[in-house]
Structures are given as structure tokens and as C-alpha cells.
Amino acid sequence: FVLNGVIATFHRPHPAKEAKPYQVRDARIFLESAGVKP
């Protein structure tokens, strides 16, 4: 993913519907780095 010049790569080992806590954390860090506020 690229957002506002910030690049992030997310690995999804299987198509589970639930996100693991570390996946949510990494997505939050990526969005905050790109200037997106919750």
C-alpha cells in the first residue's frame, strides 16, 4: 500500500475474517504515519 508517500506491506497468511492484534496495530501505525487521524 502507498498512502501520501508512505509505503506499507501487510502479509496475510490465510483468508481469515478476523484481524490479529498486531495486524491492527501495524495498520494503525501506517495510517498515522500517512497523516490519517482516527
- pLDDT (tens digit per residue) in 1-38: 999 999 998 877 777 788 889 989 999 999 999 999 87
Task: Check residue 31 and give its pLDDT.
Answer: 94
Amino acid (one-letter) located at 4: N
Q: What residues does each domain of the chain span? A: 1-10+18-38
Task: Check residue 25 and give its pLDDT.
Answer: 94
Task: Check residue 10 and give its pLDDT.
Answer: 84
pTM score over 0.75: no
Task: Check residue 37 and give its pLDDT.
Answer: 86
Q: What whole-number distance in Å separates Cα of residue 32 and Cα of residue 26?
A: 10
